[in-house]
Chain A
Amino acid sequence: MDKANQHIILKTQNLSIGYKSNKNDIVIASNIHIELHKGELIGLAGANGIGKSTLLRTLTNVQSGLNGKIFINNILLSDYTSGELAKTMSLVLTEPIASKNLSVFELVALGRHPYTNWVGNLSTEDIDIINQSLELTNIETLKHKKCFELSDGQLQKVLIARALAQDTDLIILDEPTTHLDMYHKAYILKLLQKLVKETHKTILFSSHEIDLAIQLCDKMIVMTEDDVVSDSPCNLISKGVFNTLFPEDLIVFDKHTGSFRVKK
């Protein structure tokens, strides 16, 4: 790997996540060491309720960690002002956007918010970046459509374009493939892989599409009851991490196909 690829975008040190309460903290996962490099596509996998969302919420500064440190571009996450952080990290969330009356262009343009003036006027540079984002996600034709006219798959692409327009080193997506059919699940994840290759951004997403993630990701973070492991998909398979992902009474991981099979 060349030097640029070694640049660390996000690093956690001895991080433990959970919820603070008056008496004793509720720890969801602890001792998390993650390193995300520039130009990597990273999938976050884990069973329902294992703490994927809590981890993402902690990494995006929505809630604070219980212990340990998070560095983004070698600066402590807690030292960022909200404006600086908005220029470093963009999000695609699972919640629906509040107003579906926005046109696609308007919605993507809101990604330029951290860079525009007090009333939000777009410069020609802003418009160029918005058009590039629309182009990269293949939605130029939808430009003037309203969001309520879009299918779930199209809307997801628009939200990804918005995150791209925010022009950040790191994009974090929370379950971008829910509500989508099999084709569009693959389409969205493939799109993320393309974006990583073409823009050299770092993209982290959580997903339940483990077989697709194994095929497309450079690295995966797997959360199990006992541990949070991050490594390349191949190494994770040979370590047998995926076998511990779910209770083994119903489905088992097949090493050769890289997917889960229902027990006969």
Chain B
Amino acid sequence: MLKTNTYTFSFIALITLLFICFFVNISLGSVSIPNQAILKSFIGTLDHESWQYIIQNYRLPKAITAILVGSGLGISGLLMQTLFRNPLAGPFVLGISSGASLGVALVILGSGIFGGVFATLLVLKWTVVIAASLGSFLVLLAVLLVSSKVRDTMAILIIGLMFGSITAAVVSVLSYFSSAEQLQQYIFWGFGSLGNLSWNEVFIFFIIYCLGLLLSIISIKGLNTLLLGENYAKSLGLNIKQSRFIIIIATSLLAGTITAFAGPIAFIGLAIPHITRQVFNTSNHKILLPAVFLFGAIIMLICDSIAQLPTSDYTLPINAITSLIGAPVVIWLLVRKRKMIF
């Protein structure tokens, strides 16, 4: 904790990298726009109307979404790994993504079974967002209610996984009775997508994201104490129940909105904290939290740049790219350093 200064260089490098990735991400797409035009559009002197439109209403919101998604998932993964003291924990261990899946499945797949009202609701894109939010919120609420009865933090982990299994089972029952078209629609939601967000949606996303981030920052001291284990943390005067509650709420705000707006993005939440720990070699959350933020944003921007297959008209599912890029990076880091840092 003394050596904060030695990390300054790494942070400057990461911030520079973030700006480069942000710029590259915006410059790539199905329509090729020269770099100078992009710089001009930032300062508002671009006189090419369709380019300005593409950058302002499509690429910029998408790049910002990528930053929010990557950093948010990374941070909630970090919170869960420390809270459960388990390197395998990720942002979705509490059943957040399975809850969202259930909500979306009920809307998309259920519209065939229940018909009528649901089918007309589908027209609105907001329906999916609201269904995902409601789903993850309800599952999380159930997990919280059950976990307030148990004292052991590990039990919460198991309870979250059990709720995940239940919702997965309901989803498969729903899919069994659905048409191929609806199934396809549901699967496409599961691929995840960073685009398609209007400025209004990005704005709402950003506000909830900030709330989650704020709660994470408040938890830094408690998280560091939890590195000793719960009994030590308690003996140091930490209010375990309260800290646990704040950490869980922070995670669900971050991971919940991300899933609602961008779909269940796999892997980032689990991998980013590990990548950060390997590079920064510390457990101090005062260092880890901003570092995870930067790594998450950078890697998500890179994944998104690759997913849009520059110069082609196709866009690959972001969910596949995050794992394809992320998994080898984690394997490479572990093999190179030959040990897991936690």
What is the interface of chain A, defined by CB distance below 8 A to chain B?
60, 62, 82-87, 89-91, 93, 95-102, 105-107, 109-111, 113-114, 116, 118-120, 122, 127, 166
Contact = CB atoms under 8 A, between A and B. Distances in A.
A130 to B, nearest CB: 9
Interface stretch (B42-50, B110-118, B158-166, B276-284): B276-284
Contacts of A107: 228
A116 B239 CA distance: 15
B232 A93 contact: yes
Given A86-B235, A86-B236, A120-B220, A97 B1 contact: no
B225 A110 contact: yes
A83 to B, nearest CB: 4
B342 A91 contact: no
Contact of A95 (B1, B231, B342): B231
A105 B1 contact: yes
B224 interface: yes
A91 B286 contact: no
Contacts of B341: 101
Contacts of B2: 105, 122, 127
A240 B229 CA distance: 41
Interface in B210-252: 217-218, 220-221, 224-229, 231-232, 234-239
A82 B242 CA distance: 13
A95 B231 CA distance: 9
Contacts of B286: 119-120
A226 B135 CA distance: 58
28 contacts: A60-B235, A62-B231, A82-B237, A83-B237, A86-B236, A91-B231, A91-B232, A95-B229, A95-B231, A96-B229, A97-B227, A97-B228, A98-B85, A98-B226, A99-B227, A99-B283, A99-B342, A101-B342, A105-B2, A106-B282, A110-B236, A113-B221, A113-B225, A113-B236, A116-B221, A119-B220, A120-B224, A166-B236
Nearest to A57: B231
Contacts of A166: 236
B330 to A, nearest CB: 17
B232 A97 contact: yes
**3 closest Cβ contacts across the A-B interface?**
A86-B237, A99-B227, A120-B221
Contacts of B85: 98-99
A122 B224 CA distance: 13
A136 B237 CA distance: 24
Nearest to A106: B1
A97 B235 contact: no
B283 A101 contact: yes
Nearest to B221: A120
A113 B220 contact: no
B228 A98 contact: yes
B227 A82 contact: no
Which of A87, A98, A106, A119 counts the most B-chain CB atoms under 10 A from its CB?
Answer: A98
B1 A109 contact: yes
Contacts of A60: 235
Given A97-B232, A98-B227, A110-B224, A122 B1 contact: yes
B238 A113 contact: yes
Interface in B236-273: 236-239
A92 B288 CA distance: 27
A72 to B, nearest CB: 14
Given A60-B235, A97-B229, 13 more contacts: A95-B229, A97-B228, A97-B232, A98-B228, A99-B85, A99-B283, A101-B282, A102-B283, A106-B282, A106-B283, A109-B1, A119-B221, A120-B286
A95 B283 CA distance: 19
A120 B227 CA distance: 14
Contacts of A120: 1, 220-221, 224, 286
A128 to B, nearest CB: 13
A196 B85 CA distance: 34
Nearest to A118: B221
Nearest to B218: A118
A97 B233 CA distance: 10
Which of A107, A109, A110, A127 counts the most B-chain CB atoms under 10 A from its CB?
Answer: A110
A91 B235 contact: yes
